[in-house]
């Protein structure tokens, strides 16, 4: 296992395993980088690194699909695993266990370095020179409301009293060279902090960090408890402190090895239209909403900086790998804290974060004596739907552990044959609903409430599978394997 302390060493490692596609020809500055990245997701190709982008200075680069499925079929989650300092061959459940386990370990606080030691401040742009137009920011999709300046960067903000520093990912659209507009959801952590600045009548300082150490991007995009420090949690995953440096113009610390840091203040009003944007559910966006303006005041960057991007849409992109794993790890943590003997949790990539599988061990009835599967299903829903992260998940399936939850073919087989047409489910009405999940009616979006469901697919008796593994004597199977192919 190896932790990558900056984006460049991570890209080099991926390149060495054949998982980088070097695009050396010049690409346009509008749609071509995004379209290539989107196709790379859909055919599971190496991650594209764009070396020449029209309209920007030589040396400025774009990097697509940083945490998507790997092109290596023998290690599909390698980009996520390596980002977190895990072995590239780690399975999905192993990554989820690591994310959950780190929440119970002491955090390792970041360490501040001097500006001269911080690669992110090799170049400092102030005033009119601090302009987004100099960077290769493409349109993500052709129906979007503008160029999206943030799809995989980390937003750093803190409460006015300085007690809570939050690192997160939220989509931010470029308005012009000196302004951006970001989607700030009141229930999310950045929304809670922005609300405190609004109450004070002061614009919120922010730093938007592009291309930090991959673990920073990953942790910024997954749920951890409110008021927890992402920097400390990343230090735990890395086994070493994150080096940070004081921002040039703000009282915020930023990752020292980042590629680009944008500094400024966020308006206290929702004074600019944001969107539409093609989101993780797999559909092009429609409509826009009033959101706060992010004013650009100072920009710092490394020499020949790399701007990473996630082009969300149909599976499989970072929303369906890293973010889904983070949500599953959050669910696993809360269920185990409720003393339920969960084997693992998993969100199939192709469900676009609309399904959660809760996997029970074969002996769960022995571990929960006197509890029926109906009662277990109800309890699982009661625990999960109280958590913030589950606002995104409308459907939960409680399943046995006799199939591989990460194999979509097996998931479809198991759910198709075990979900009862009308019964064996716990319905939870009047749950929190936001517009990002695609399955609700307009009236439910307006009301902010709708139903969620937990399906009980647990077998009263384990049935043997009509399969090679379970349908033949062991000596026959071994003889066939020894002579395969004939």
**Which DSSP helix (H) or strand (E) runs through 294?**
strand 293-301
Q: Which residue has the tokens 């929303």?
A: 319
- CATH at 118: 2.30.110.10
If one counts every other C-beta atom within 10 angstroms of the C-beta of residue 297, the result is: 17
Beta bridge partners of 20: 47
Buried b (16+ CB within 10 A) or exposed e, 194-204: bebbbeeeebb
**Model pLDDT, residue 472:** 97
pLDDT > 70: percent of the chain: 100
Are residues 194 and 266 in contact, defined by beta-carbon separation less than 8 angstroms?
Answer: yes
**Model pLDDT, residue 352:** 97
| pLDDT tens digits, 2-26 | 999 999 999 999 999 999 999 999 9
314 is a domain residue:
no
pLDDT above 90 (res 126): yes
- Number of Cα atoms under 13 Å in the Cβ half of residue 75: 17
* Alpha carbons 48 and 37: distance in angstroms, whole number: 6
Residues 405 and 451 in one domain: yes
| pLDDT tens digits, 203-237 | 999 999 999 999 999 999 999 887 789 999 999 99
Residues 271 and 375 in one domain: no
Residues 243 and 375 in one domain: no
374 is a domain residue:
yes
**Which DSSP helix (H) or strand (E) runs through 415?**
helix 408-418
Are residues 211 and 67 in contact, defined by beta-carbon separation less than 8 angstroms?
Answer: no
59 is a domain residue:
yes
**DSSP string for residues in 351-404:** GTTSEEEEEEPTTHHHHSTT--HHHHHHHHHHHHTTSSGGGG--EEEEEESSS-
**Model pLDDT, residue 187:** 82
Structure tokens at 392: 């995104």
Residues 19 and 64 in one domain: yes
Query: In the chain, what is the straight-line distance between the N-terminal and C-terminal CA atoms, in Å?
Result: 38
Residues 360 and 297 in one domain: no
pLDDT above 80 (res 387): yes
| pLDDT tens digits, 23-75 | 999 999 999 999 999 999 999 999 999 999 999 999 999 999 999 999 999 99
pLDDT above 80 (res 1): no
Phi-psi region of 224 (alpha: psi -120 to 50; beta: other; left: phi over 0): beta
Residues 253 and 351 in one domain: no
Residues 259 and 391 in one domain: no
Residues 380 and 439 in one domain: yes
**Which DSSP helix (H) or strand (E) runs through 50?**
strand 47-50
The CA dihedral of 158, 163, 169, 170, to the nearest 10 degrees, is -50
| pLDDT tens digits, 423-432 | 999 999 999 9
**Model pLDDT, residue 376:** 98
- Structural domain ending residue among the three candidates 289, 309, 329: 309
Residues 48 and 115 in one domain: yes
Q: Which residue has the tokens 């399906």?
A: 455
**Model pLDDT, residue 357:** 98
Q: How many domains does the chain have?
A: 2
Residues 66 and 169 in one domain: yes
**DSSP string for residues in 304-353:** S-EEEE---SSSSSTIIIIIHHHHHHHHHHHHHHTT----EEE--GGGTT
Q: What is the mean pLDDT of residues 326-333?
A: 97
* Alpha carbons 44 and 51: distance in angstroms, whole number: 21
322 is a domain residue:
no
Residues whose CB is less than 8 angstroms from the CB of residue 9 and which lie 6 or more positions away in sequence, other chains included: none
**What domain range is 444 assigned to?**
338-456
Cα 358 to Cα 128, 271, 342: the distances in Å are 52, 42, 7
Q: What is the mean pLDDT of residues 322-349?
A: 97
> Which are the catalytic amino acids?
279
Quickly list H helices, 125-258.
189-200, 214-220, 230-238
Q: Give φ, ψ of 238 to 5 degrees.
A: -75, -25
Residues 287 and 418 in one domain: no
* Alpha carbons 79 and 54: distance in angstroms, whole number: 28
Q: Which residue has the tokens 């420090």?
A: 229
**Model pLDDT, residue 225:** 83
Opening angle at CA 484, ends 481 and 486, nearest 5: 145
Q: What is the mean pLDDT of residues 368-393?
A: 97
Helices 92-102 and 230-238 sit at what angle, rounded to 10 degrees? 120
β pairing state of 395-400 and 355-360: parallel
214 is a domain residue:
yes
- CATH at 452: 3.40.1670.10
**Which DSSP helix (H) or strand (E) runs through 28?**
none
pTM of the full structure: 0.95
Residues 281 and 360 in one domain: no
Cα 289 to Cα 6, 38, 273: the distances in Å are 35, 25, 5
112 is a domain residue:
yes
470 is a domain residue:
no
Cα 420 to Cα 29, 188, 400, 405, 417: the distances in Å are 51, 35, 15, 19, 8
68 is a domain residue:
yes
What's the farthest any 2 CA atoms get from each other in the chain? 76
pLDDT above 90 (res 297): yes
Phi-psi region of 16 (alpha: psi -120 to 50; beta: other; left: phi over 0): alpha
């Amino acid at each position: 296992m190896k932790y990558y302390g900056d984006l460049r060493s991570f890209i080099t490692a991926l390149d060495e395993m054949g998982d980088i596609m070097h695009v050396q020809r010049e690409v346009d500055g509008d749609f071509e980088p995004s379209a290539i990245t989107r196709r790379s997701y859909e055919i599971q190709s190496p991650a594209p690194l764009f070396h020449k982008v029209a309209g920007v200075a030589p040396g400025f680069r774009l990097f697509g699909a940083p945490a998507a499925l790997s092109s290596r079929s023998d290690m599909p989650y390698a980009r996520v695993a390596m980002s977190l300092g895990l072995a590239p061959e780690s399975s999905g459940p192993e990554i989820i266990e690591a994310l959950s386990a780190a929440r119970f370990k002491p955090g390792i606080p970041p360490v501040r370095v001097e500006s001269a030691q911080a690669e992110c401040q090799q170049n400092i742009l102030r005033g009119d020179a601090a302009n987004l137009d100099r960077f290769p920011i493409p349109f993500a999709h052709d129906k979007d409301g503008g160029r999206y300046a943030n799809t995989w960067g980390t937003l750093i903000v803190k409460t006015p009293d300085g007690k809570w520093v939050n690192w997160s990912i939220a989509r931010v659209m470029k308005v012009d060279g000196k302004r951006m507009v970001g989607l700030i959801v009141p229930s999310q952590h950045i929304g809670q902090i922005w609300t405190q600045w609004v109450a004070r009548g002061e614009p919120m300082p922010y730093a938007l960090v592009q291309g930090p150490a991959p673990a920073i991007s990953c942790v910024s995009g997954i749920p951890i408890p409110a008021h927890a420090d992402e920097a400390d949690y990343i230090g735990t995953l890395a086994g070493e402190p994150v080096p940070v440096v004081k921002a040039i113009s703000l009282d915020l610390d930023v990752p020292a090895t980042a590629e680009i840091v944008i500094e400024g203040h966020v308006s206290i009003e929702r004074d600019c239209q944001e969107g539409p944007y093609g989101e993780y559910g797999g559909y092009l966006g429609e409509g826009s909403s009033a959101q706060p303006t992010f004013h650009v005041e100072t920009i710092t960057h490394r020499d020949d900086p790399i701007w990473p991007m996630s082009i969300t849409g149909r599976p499989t992109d970072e929303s369906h790998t890293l973010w889904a794993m983070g949500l599953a790890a959050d669910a696993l943590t809360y269920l185990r804290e409720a003393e339920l003997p969960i084997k693992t949790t998993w969100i199939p990539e192709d469900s676009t974060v609309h399904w959660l599988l809760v996997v029970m061990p074969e002996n769960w009835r022995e571990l929960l004596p006197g509890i029926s599967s109906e009662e277990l299903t109800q309890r699982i829903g009661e625990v999960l739907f109280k958590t913030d992260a589950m606002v995104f998940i409308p459907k939960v399936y409680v399943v046995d552990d006799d199939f591989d939850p990460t194999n979509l073919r097996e998931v479809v087989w198991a759910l198709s044959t075990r979900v009862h047409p009308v019964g064996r489910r716990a319905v939870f009405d009047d749950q929190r609903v936001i517009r990002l999940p695609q399955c609700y009616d307009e009236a439910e979006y307006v009301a902010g409430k709708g139903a969620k469901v937990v399906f009980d697919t647990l077998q009263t008796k384990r049935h043997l599978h009509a399969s090679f593994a379970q349908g033949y004597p062991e000596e026959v199977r071994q003889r066939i394997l020894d002579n395969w192919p004939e």
